[in-house]
Chain A
Amino acid sequence: MNLEFSAEDNAFRDEVRAFIAENYPEQLRGKQDEGDDLTKDDYLSWHKVLAKKGWVAPSWPKALGGTDWTSTQKYIWSEELARADALPVLPFGVVMVAPVIYTFGTPEQKERFLPKIYNGEEWWCQGYSEPGAGSDLASLKTKAERFTGDDGKEYYLVNGQKTWTTLAQFADWGFFLVRTDPTAKIQEGISFLLIDMKTPGIEVRRITTLEGGHEVNEVWLENVKVPVENRVYEENKGWTCAKFLLAHERSGIAGVARSKRGVEKIRDMASNELGDDGKPLIQDADFKRKVAELEIDLTALEFTELRTLASESAGKGPGPESSLLKIKGTEIQQRLTELALEAAGPYGAPYLRDLGDNAKIGPDYAVGRAGAYFNTRKTSIYGGSNEIQRNIIAKMVLGL
């Protein structure tokens, strides 16, 4: 048992910290905390810097552009990114669809799609959930009917509706789960399709979330023609790809490094906000106690994640225990936003979104705290709700 970082690890930390400090785009720094919507260019600016360096996809196989970092190094990398408040690389391309393509795809698909995902030239969205298929994703109804086109080529005709499609308003491509065999048992009639978002018949409609932002969308598909060669893996075996992707989505979901940064920010805020006794809130016994409990909870999560990483390095893939990381990780994220809003006090109330730079009401640290609290309620709902995650642990880990 050993909790120390080696000299090589420390050197690595110094290297990546310096890189981030020197190369993180200036325009992004302030914009993020304000809580206003970021532009497509904002998101891509950091991605492109990392792609140029070769660090945008650490988990990919080395031959395809991965970094071959040890799990300790990957851990250090995410800590340093969080420490710098760096925008995470958008997961849909690099972390979600790319592993499916390089694991299940044809050589042509790998060549066509992976480089542009890597470079940030093509932006991806995830067409999974439907109005009737949330937790019960397998019951999805968007259908894909095979036909031969006038050009003699094979296509799917796709009709249906996806929802909660994150940042689809910027997407060039989407990976969609569609029903290719309505007669089969529900998980056995699904295929995994890559769809060009410019294909005629696709409409992206904004969903405004309760804090006022635009992160998610409905995607309506009406008679959308998709070449059969855009299907990854075998027809009706798409659920295998989906399960593979969901397991990958869940590791890294603990968000420990970012939550540690979140605790630091609360300590900062509470050092500036005066409590009822006129002294900084961080000295208030009740508030301090709550921060202490949260830090302890986070430490427990951190070490559970480290144990999970260690057993993954030993050859075991991400298992159902990662559901624990998702549950605790998101509960901690939510608790952080609760405490931050509490620390903001009465100045948590002003709604300053879209009011421009003139709207400096109250201290900077209070701006956007309520919006972040409201928006973060999604984390216990998405990626498999925390109720579903508990079912997974009950069934797959405890055998209940």
Chain B
Amino acid sequence: MDFNFTEEQSMLRDTVASFLQDKYDFEKRRKMIGTDACRDPAIWEAFANELGILGAPFSEELGGLGGGAIENMIVMEEFGKALVVEPYLGTVVIGGGFLKHSGYAGAADLIGGVIEGKTIFAFAYAEPQARYTWQDLKTTAKKDGAGYVINGHKAVVVGAPWATHLIVTARTGGGQRDADGVSVFIVEKGAKGVVTRDYPTVDGQRASEVYFENVSVGADALIGVEGKGLPLVNKVIDEATAASCAEAVGAMRQLHAGTLDYAKQRKQFGTAIANFQVLQHRMVDMFMNLEQSVSMTYMATIKLSEDDAERAKAVSAAKVQIGKACKFVGQNAIQIHGGMGMTDELAIGHYFKRATMIEGLFGSVDHHLRRYETLSFDKAA
């Protein structure tokens, strides 16, 4: 049983951390978010060329760092600590996940593009009617000669404004909520018939409503086996969920550390508020939530390589812990900061907002409790 990181992994963490401290501090981030593009392209370029982290989970043959889920976890935690909005999750974790697990013919080229910083993916899976049921799909991909024609409306596609390519779930068969008939496609964002309405999100990112109006794609757009895509989708979403847990841990570390700092400096009634036992116990409870979240993130990341049921159960368990922790740590960070916690000026509120969004990302606490229950109690012995 080993929870140690290798020397390379520690170096990866240190490199990312020190780059972000230098180039992505809170005020720099605020400026970037305030631009129309909401980001500075030099950052992604640095990720690609200076740090090489866009290759973190890809094999060395493909030009990557030869890592996997643990490397993604390390990068995402550092990103959470700095509130990075760059599309690593969509591109490296999700895009990379689909390309690595599906045997897709064009994978090597696309991965090459990702590592170079030229290819950016956004995952268009959610739909207006579907809440957290990934197989609830009204988007259709009808066979058209050798290719397909895609029609539908994808909701809240995070990172779509910055993407070069979209990964789209669509129905090639079956009823709206059937497990069978789900297919996955890669579509160039600039393809004819792809219409987007871009908007900011409450936590400083960008997303789009994406409309597919008779979008024609070739046979080579299909990832995996036609109509049998749901297990692949579930696997990649679980990997993305584990990575998001890591990001949440990073955000919670800052929420907690920031609160400790504030409470030690803020004086009322002649003493630092950190001296009041009620607040001390609160900060201890925040600490416990944080530590349990670290543990569950490690557990879920390690178990990503298990079979479908084990992996799903582990990821859901982690997301339940992290979801609850995000709420507790976030809310109490604001509370202990008092009025200052309510301002846009301080970073603490921005961490709270991001933690709140991660709480619901890829499924609420209730959703994951139910999935865990189904896997733990309802399956036949």
Contact = CB atoms under 8 A, between A and B. Distances in A.
A208 B268 contact: no
Given A136-B268, A278-B177, A129 B339 contact: yes
Nearest to B268: A136
B349 interface: yes
Interface in B120-161: 126, 128-133, 136, 155-156, 158
Given A134-B268, A378-B342, A355 B199 contact: yes
A212 B341 contact: no
Contacts of B131: 273-276, 281, 345-346
A317 B209 CA distance: 55
B1 interface: no
A373 B330 CA distance: 12
A351 B342 contact: no
Interface stretch (B108-116, B296-304, B350-358): B350-358
B156 A381 contact: no
A208 B158 CA distance: 26
A135 B136 contact: no
A84 B197 CA distance: 34
Contacts of A390: 278
A345 B199 contact: no
B43 interface: no
B70 to A, nearest CB: 28
Contacts of A387: 276, 278-279
Contacts of B200: 350-351
B360 A342 contact: yes
B343 interface: yes
By secondary structure, the B interface counts as: mixed
B126 A346 contact: yes
A276 B133 contact: yes
Nearest to B276: A387
Interface in A100-148: 129, 132, 134-136, 139
Contact of A377 (B202, B335, B360): B335
B279 A210 contact: no
The listed residue with most A CB atoms (<10 A of its CB), out of B131, B158, B268, B345, is B131
Contacts of B128: 347, 362-363
Contact of B268 (A139, A273, A373): A139
A281 to B, nearest CB: 8
Interface string A375-400: 10110111001010010000000000
A385 B338 contact: yes
A361 interface: yes
Contacts of B27: none
B47 to A, nearest CB: 24
B275 interface: no
A210 B356 CA distance: 13
B201 A351 contact: yes
A381 B341 contact: yes
A390 B279 CA distance: 13
Given A287-B366, A381-B341, A210 B349 contact: yes
B155 A380 contact: no
Nearest to A345: B131
A303 to B, nearest CB: 27
Contacts of A375: 342
A38 interface: no
B155 A347 contact: yes
A210 B350 contact: yes
Contacts of A211: 202
Contacts of B209: 361
Given A210-B353, A275-B131, A381-B338, A349 B207 contact: yes
B344 A208 contact: yes
B343 A346 contact: no
Nearest to A136: B268
A120 to B, nearest CB: 27
A347 B202 CA distance: 11
Interface string B250-264: 000000000000000
Assign chain B's interface to a size class: 35 or more
Interface string A196-216: 000000000001111110001
A210 B339 contact: no
A294 to B, nearest CB: 15
B360 A345 contact: yes
B368 to A, nearest CB: 11
B156 A350 contact: yes
Contacts of A209: 342-344
A380 to B, nearest CB: 6
A90 interface: no
Contacts of A208: 343-345
Contacts of B345: 207-208
B364 interface: yes
B367 interface: yes
B269 interface: yes
A346 B155 contact: yes
Contacts of A210: 341-344, 349-350, 352-353
Given A135-B338, A287-B366, A342-B360, A349 B201 contact: yes
A224 interface: no
Contacts of A82: none
Contacts of B343: 207-210
A31 B367 CA distance: 33
A352 B353 CA distance: 15
Nearest to B282: A387
B9 interface: no
B339 A278 contact: no
A346 B156 contact: yes
Nearest to B131: A345
A284 to B, nearest CB: 8
Given A209-B344, A346-B360, A278 B136 contact: yes
A152 to B, nearest CB: 41
Contact of A349 (B129, B133, B156): B156
A374 B349 contact: yes
Contacts of A212: 344
Contacts of B356: 341, 370, 373-374
Contacts of B202: 211, 348-351, 370-371, 374
Contacts of B118: none
A347 B267 CA distance: 40
B342 to A, nearest CB: 5
29 contacts: A132-B267, A135-B338, A139-B268, A207-B345, A208-B344, A208-B345, A210-B344, A210-B350, A212-B344, A274-B129, A276-B133, A278-B177, A281-B131, A342-B364, A345-B364, A346-B131, A348-B360, A349-B360, A350-B200, A350-B201, A351-B201, A352-B199, A370-B353, A374-B202, A377-B335, A377-B341, A381-B341, A385-B338, A387-B279
Q: Report the 10 A-B pairs with minimum CB-CB distance, sorted nearest first.
A: A210-B349, A136-B268, A208-B344, A370-B202, A351-B200, A351-B202, A286-B366, A349-B201, A346-B156, A136-B269
Given A347-B128, A374-B353, 19 more contacts: A207-B343, A274-B130, A276-B131, A276-B367, A342-B360, A342-B364, A345-B360, A346-B126, A346-B132, A347-B155, A350-B199, A352-B199, A355-B199, A374-B356, A378-B339, A378-B342, A382-B339, A385-B335, A385-B338
